[in-house]
Amino acid sequence: GGGGAGAGAAAGGDVQVDDAVLAMERSVSPVRDGLLGSNVGLWPQNEAAVRVGAYGTKINAVVRGVMRVLHEDEAAKVLVVSQWDAMLGLLMGVLRENLVVCQQVKSEKTAAEPISKFRSGAAGCRVLLLNSKAGRGLNLTEATHVFVVEPLLSPGLDAQVLGRVHRSGQTKPTFVHRFLVVGTIETTVADVARRAALRLAESGVAAANQVAGGGDDMRNARLTRGDVRRLLRAREDA
């Protein structure tokens, strides 16, 4: 597999984006303008060693991707992000089935322990699973790879997710791996999100303001009527 081309980073190391496991979206993020991607494929050299079971293409690809990163870089730590707690729980089960030590943040009240184990590497923990809407402002610069399991509709939320790793204090290159299943509503969500991100970038709104404000209440990042119609049509066709 190949590494993505790096873009200049204000918060520390370079940020790189991979373009396609399944068919991971080419990222055009307003806070990472100019990022280029490279095709990392499905990493067949790892397939024989992974007991992923019959969980579907995406889960298999995410698990193989995480295992590949951990195998190739013994110092790497991975943040796996999804909007769905059920998806995170399923991924945690499959990762542990494959002997990957990981922790999941299940609620803000119980977040301290899994985050502490991830930061310290307790018992070999190098993977943290986190809901995309949890831990706003959380500093997780120990991670060097972010796996975004499905496209996020809000550019502000996407910026917050990446900002947990790529921020002040990060001294290492950071990598973003985005997943979507072609031919499903995820393709439409990714396209609508990309259009919203481009509108935001063209508006000249500073990335720092977007992250600080959450992005969801910003006029140029809101969905247009056309965006909503496209999402509804995609849902009907699913």
pTM of the model: 0.70
Q: Determine how many CB atoms are found less than 10 A away from the CB of residue 19.
A: 18
Q: What is the pLDDT of residues 68-89, one digit of tens each?
A: 999 999 999 999 999 999 999 9
The 3-state DSSP class for residue 104 equals: strand
- Residue 100 near residue 50 (C-beta atoms within 8 A): no
Annotated domain spans of the chain: 15-181
Longest dimension (CA), the chain: 50
Please name the helix (run of DSSP H) or strand (run of DSSP E) that holds residue 81, with its range, or none: strand 78-82
Fold adopted by 15-181: Rossmann fold (3.40.50)
User: In which band, very low, low, confident or very high, does the pLDDT at 112 lie, cut at 50, 70 and 90?
Assistant: very high
Tokens 């295992």 label which residue? 67
Q: What is the pLDDT of residues 173-224, one digit of tens each?
A: 999 999 988 888 888 888 888 887 777 777 765 444 444 444 444 444 565 6
User: In which band, very low, low, confident or very high, does the pLDDT at 156 lie, cut at 50, 70 and 90?
Assistant: confident
Task: Please return the burial class of 23, using the count of CB atoms within 10 Å of its CB with bins 0-12, 13-18 and 19+.
Answer: middle
